[in-house]
């Protein structure tokens, strides 16, 4: 005999089940489809990440979408499934996946002429290979017979500055305790290395090490609803920058020194009280423009990212001198006029709205012909520099016509520092 309570109880359970299912379905985010014009394939990443910042003006979301760069399952609405095939986990610019994420002839594996060979350049750069430090340390401690470059933090082949073939391989394991300590303690600054723990050293790897900016706390402050504010392990926001402040460079270049006697890193213990001390370590002397500006205001992309050749050390690739911008007693800075709307300098300036540049503009170029597109010659014949990060316009004094006593055979910056160094 059926209990008189059985039917109502079954109905109640069914009703509750339907309510739970309805609540569960209603709590799911509404699917948001995006069909980027580059792929013409729908993807549903914005279902969860709606509100995230566009990555950059050069990578509009409606054109690139998300999957083209990040990978992932474009049609999945389940987090684990959607993220199961992400490239580089949170960082698609890591060198282990960068060619798949950022490559292509129209992207960053393009022609040298159009300056779209970014990946090839950075993979052979001193910042990626760490070749200078490795060569000197291995030679000093008997790991190699001379100062010829042999080892790099990544395996890479190419040409040296003279055009000769060169190949770098990863440093071999050694029984020498100094070399062992060097590889374990002193190799955290090349671009594919995990940084030292601590917010002062916070950065990502690969291209993002420079172009995805971190803040002083190493925390996230962006608008992605799926990332907690203040969470570490991310860039500050979901944006790429070509205007890179000195604080980003500091993560590797100004947090301390390596002690070659003990093969350990000694962090800075002083507290900078002004920008000069924060920008440069107090042991050195620099001119005012060098610490008032940001690194990218003077150093070129080819110096920093590499020029496609494998240089044996930083000194070999770095060549900007005071005279590049200020000229000499007899010659002004080299310049060229922007004549083509497809000029690479225009493309670079477009990504930085603080630096106006148009066809007809006269810009300073380096001895190798690289455009210093934030330094211009104005109508009255004088020169101005615009800070890529600050947007401040500086009148740039020239050596010609000044009381400078420089000698014709003393044109390197070190001679300028003898008179113009600013001391703490």
Q: Is 263 left (phi over 0), alpha (psi -120 to 50) or beta?
A: left
Please classify residue 316 by burial: count the beta carbons closer than 10 Å to its beta carbon, then call 0-12 exposed, 13-18 middle and 19+ buried. Answer: middle
- Bridge partner residues of 168 (DSSP): 156
pLDDT value of position 6:
56
pLDDT value of position 261:
86
Give the lowest-confidence range in 62-66, 259-263, 321-325. Answer: 259-263
| pLDDT tens-place string over residues 195-231 | 888 888 889 999 999 999 998 888 999 999 999 998 8
* pTM for this predicted structure: 0.87
Position 265 confidence tier, pLDDT thresholds 50, 70, 90: confident
Whether 229 and 44 have beta carbons less than 8 Å apart is answered as no
| pLDDT tens-place string over residues 370-413 | 999 999 999 999 999 999 999 999 999 999 989 898 888 888 88
Whether 406 and 328 have beta carbons less than 8 Å apart is answered as yes
pLDDT value of position 187:
85
> What number of H helices and E strands is found in the chain?
20, 11
The answer on pLDDT for 40 being more than 80 is yes
Which of 318, 99, 66 is closest to 206 using CA atoms?
99
Helix H or strand E encompassing 393: strand 393-396
Distance CA 262, CA 264 (A): 5
pLDDT value of position 256:
85
Which of 289, 293, 305 is closest to 389 using CA atoms?
293
The crossing angle, in degrees rounded to 10, of helices 131-140 and 177-185 is: 160
**Domains of the chain: which residue ranges?**
27-86, 118-296, 319-422
The answer on pLDDT for 9 being more than 70 is no
pLDDT value of position 16:
66
CB environment 28-42: b (16+ within 10 A), e (fewer): eeeeeebebebeeee
Which of 360, 394, 359 is closest to 374 using CA atoms?
394
pLDDT value of position 21:
57
* DSSP string of 156-193, one letter each residue: EEEE-TTS-EEEEBPPPP-S-HHHHHHHHHS--SSTTS
Q: Which residue has the higher pLDDT, 9 or 407?
A: 407
Whether 355 and 349 have beta carbons less than 8 Å apart is answered as yes
Residue the block writes with tokens 């620099």: 286
Please give the share of the chain, as a percent, with pLDDT higher than 90.
66
Question: For the chain, how are helix, strand and coil distributed in percent, rounded to 5?
Answer: 30, 10, 55
User: What tokens appear for 25 in the block?
Assistant: 């379905």
The answer on pLDDT for 24 being more than 70 is no
Q: Is 365 left (phi over 0), alpha (psi -120 to 50) or beta?
A: beta
User: What tokens appear for 1 in the block?
Assistant: 């005999």
- C-alpha to C-alpha distances, 327 to 252, 311, 367, 383, nearest whole angstrom: 31, 27, 11, 11
| pLDDT tens-place string over residues 70-125 | 999 999 999 999 999 999 988 999 999 999 999 998 899 999 988 899 999 999 99
| pLDDT tens-place string over residues 117-133 | 999 999 999 999 999 99
Distance CA 270, CA 277 (A): 9
User: What tokens appear for 375 in the block?
Assistant: 């330094």
pLDDT value of position 421:
83
pLDDT value of position 196:
87
User: What tokens appear for 302 in the block?
Assistant: 């080819």
The answer on pLDDT for 48 being more than 60 is yes
Max CA separation in the chain (angstroms): 115
Helix H or strand E encompassing 415: helix 413-420
| pLDDT tens-place string over residues 231-252 | 888 899 999 999 999 999 988 8
* DSSP string of 215-264, one letter each residue: -TT-B--S--TTS-TT-BSS-SSS---SS--HHHHHHHHSSEEEETTTTE
């Amino acid at each position: 005999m059926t209990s008189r309570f059985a039917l109502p109880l079954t109905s109640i359970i069914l009703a509750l089940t339907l309510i739970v299912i309805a609540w569960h379905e209603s709590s799911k985010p509404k699917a948001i489809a995006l069909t980027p014009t580059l792929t013409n394939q729908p993807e549903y990443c914005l279902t969860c990440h709606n509100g995230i910042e566009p990555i950059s003006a050069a990578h509009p979301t409606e054109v690139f979408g998300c999957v083209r760069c990040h990978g992932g399952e474009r049609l999945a609405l389940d987090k684990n499934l959607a993220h199961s095939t992400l490239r580089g986990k949170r960082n698609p610019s890591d060198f282990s996946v960068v060619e798949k994420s950022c490559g292509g002839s129209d992207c960053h594996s393009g022609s040298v002429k159009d300056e779209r060979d970014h990946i090839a350049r950075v993979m052979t750069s001193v910042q990626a290979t760490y070749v200078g430090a490795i060569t000197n340390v291995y030679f000093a401690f008997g790991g190699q017979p001379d100062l010829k470059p042999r080892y790099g933090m990544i395996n890479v082949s190419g040409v040296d500055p003279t055009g000769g073939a060169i190949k770098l391989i990863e440093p071999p394991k050694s029984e020498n305790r100094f070399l062992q300590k060097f590889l374990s303690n002193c190799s955290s600054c090349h671009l594919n290395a995990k940084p030292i723990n601590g917010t002062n050293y916070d950065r990502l790897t690969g291209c993002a090490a420079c172009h995805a900016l971190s803040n002083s706390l190493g925390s996230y402050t962006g608008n992605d609803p799926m990332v907690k504010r203040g969470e570490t392990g991310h860039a500050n926001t979901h944006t790429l920058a070509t205007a890179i402040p000195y604080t980003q460079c500091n993560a590797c270049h100004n947090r301390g020194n390596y002690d070659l006697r003990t093969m350990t890193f000694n962090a800075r213990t002083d507290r900078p009280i002004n920008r000069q001390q924060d920008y440069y370590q107090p042991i050195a002397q620099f001119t005012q423009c060098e610490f008032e500006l940001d690194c990218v205001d003077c150093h070129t992309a080819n110096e920093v990212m590499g020029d496609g050749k494998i240089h044996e050390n930083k000194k070999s690739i770095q060549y900007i001198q005071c005279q590049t911008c200020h000229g000499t007693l007899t010659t002004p800075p080299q310049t060229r006029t922007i004549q083509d709307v497809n000029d690479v300098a225009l493309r670079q300036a477009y990504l930085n709205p603080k630096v106006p540049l148009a066809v007809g503009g006269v810009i300073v170029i380096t001895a190798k012909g690289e455009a210093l597109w934030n330094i211009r010659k104005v109508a009255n014949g004088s020169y101005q520099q615009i800070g890529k990060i600050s947007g401040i316009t500086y009148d740039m004094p020239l050596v010609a016509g000044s009381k400078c006593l420089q000698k014709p055979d003393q044109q390197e910056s070190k001679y300028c520092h003898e008179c113009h160094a600013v001391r703490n």
